[in-house]
């Protein structure tokens, strides 16, 4: 391959038509769209590929900037918005996290291609432990937490907030919609507005700490657990800082784990990181899944590399 052209096309239907017509050799597709391309003549889907990504996590705005912020409604706990410290109450966070139907999300949206996440630690990274405990999926417990939250005012008054995700990332939008449906069915005074945002808008609002609830991901820059946990859990992390999550004990653990020598020592420390993350609940993590590629069948020589989103193109040819 001497030349490659990579284009940004936001609409899946346009990408699909380009693939179908042979104008595109490969396209990106959310997993929910795979049934639309698997049956196309001359199209190949390679599934079950290793995926070094913390996938579709929900992040709570712990120290929310409510000034002039429509994402927070009225900015008060009056049934028309949320206050700046809404998610500082752990019962609110646990209520949201335990209400999410993880098994249904994996089976319906991902067609079973995944497993419950054990925190910000994807399969294949040092420290991943499929036996590590996760927060239970428990609707009754979630309701009990939300009854207690903010001294009972959350349940009594209700709330309005926005749940944001990057526009075009449909599986994240579906996760937001599922959480919305579960919580709104629990109490008619609960209202969540699902907001797809352009990436530039998303980043701007995130940096201003104006996003109450976000569904986002983190693709690892290098295959080390530090790059998986730091963005979500370290006080200066990409997500943790604008969220307002800062726990000195967590920072110390992450620093110790990064500096430790020997796999056994690092694994033990990262297990402590995951345990503390489950205790603090600054975020909750939905699933660990697989990567896949959608190409025309004439594309040959593709080598998957989980660290490179487009794969290794040097050996690719068209035949």
Count the Cβ atoms, other than its own, within 10 Å of residue 167.
16
Q: 23 CB contacts (<8 Å, ≥6 apart)? A: none
Which residues of the chain are in CATH 3.40.190.10 domains? 12-50+291-318
pLDDT in tens, 215-273: 999 999 999 999 999 999 999 999 999 999 999 999 999 999 999 999 999 999 999 99
Phi and psi, residue 196, nearest 5°: -75, 130
CA distances from 296 to 37, 46, 317 (A): 10, 11, 11
- By the 10 Å C-beta count (0-12 exposed, 13-18 middle, 19+ buried), 48 is classed as exposed
Q: What is the pLDDT of residues 98-123, one digit of tens each?
A: 999 999 999 999 999 999 998 999 99
- In the chain, ranges of CATH 3.10.105.10 domains: 53-288
Cα–Cα distance for residue pair 180/187, rounded to 1 Å: 11
Percent of the chain exceeding pLDDT 90 equals: 88
Q: What CATH number labels 12-50+291-318?
A: 3.40.190.10
* Residue 274 CB neighbour total at 10 angstroms: 24
In this predicted model, what pLDDT tens digit does every residue of 129-145 receive, in sequence order?
Answer: 888 899 999 999 999 99
Per the CB < 8 A criterion, the answer to whether 52 and 307 are in contact is yes
pLDDT tens-digit series, residues 43-52: 999 999 998 9
Tell whether domain 53-288 is in CATH 3.40.91.50: no
Q: Under DSSP, is residue 139 helix (H, G, I), strand (E, B) or coil?
A: helix
For residue 264, what are its two tokens? 């056994």
| Contact of 70 with 112, CB cutoff 8 Å | no
Any idea what DSSP says for residue 212? S
Percent of the chain residues past pLDDT 70, beyond the cut: 100
> What is the rounded (10 degree) CA torsion for 303, 308, 313, 319?
50
CA distance 176 to 159: 16
For the entire predicted model, the pTM comes to: 0.93
Write out pLDDT tens, residues 173-194. Answer: 999 999 999 999 999 999 999 9
């Amino acid at each position: 391959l001497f030349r490659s052209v990579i284009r940004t096309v936001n609409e899946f239907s346009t990408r699909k038509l380009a693939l179908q017509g042979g104008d595109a050799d490969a396209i990106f597709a959310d997993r929910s769209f795979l049934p639309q391309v698997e049956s196309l003549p001359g199209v190949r889907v390679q599934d079950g590929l290793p995926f070094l990504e913390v996938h579709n996590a929900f992040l709570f705005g712990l120290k929310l900037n409510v000034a002039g912020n429509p994402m927070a409604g009225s900015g008060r706990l009056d049934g028309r918005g949320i206050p700046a410290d809404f998610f500082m109450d752990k019962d609110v966070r646990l209520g949201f996290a335990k209400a999410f139907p993880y098994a249904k999300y994996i089976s319906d949206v991902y067609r079973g291609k995944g497993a419950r996440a054990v925190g910000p630690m994807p399969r294949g990274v040092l420290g991943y432990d499929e036996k590590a405990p996760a927060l239970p999926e428990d609707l009754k417990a979630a309701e009990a937490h939300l009854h207690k939250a903010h001294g009972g005012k959350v349940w009594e008054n209700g709330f309005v907030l926005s749940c944001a995700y990057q526009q075009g990332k449909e599986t994240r939008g579906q996760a937001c919609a599922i959480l919305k449906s579960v919580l709104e069915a629990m109490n008619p005074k609960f209202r969540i507005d699902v907001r797809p945002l352009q990436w530039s808008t998303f980043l701007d609002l995130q940096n201003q700490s104006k996003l109450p609830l976000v569904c986002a991901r983190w693709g690892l820059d290098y295959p080390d657990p530090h790059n998986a946990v730091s963005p979500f859990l370290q006080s200066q992390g990409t997500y943790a800082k604008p969220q307002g999550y800062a726990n000195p004990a967590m920072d110390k653990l992450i620093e110790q784990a990064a500096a430790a020598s020997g796999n056994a020592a690092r694994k033990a420390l990262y297990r402590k990181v995951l345990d503390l993350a489950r205790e603090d609940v600054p975020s909750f993590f939905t699933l660990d899944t697989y990567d896949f590629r959608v190409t025309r069948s004439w594309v040959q020589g593709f080598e998957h590399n989980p660290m490179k989103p487009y794969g290794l193109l040097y050996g690719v040819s068209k035949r």
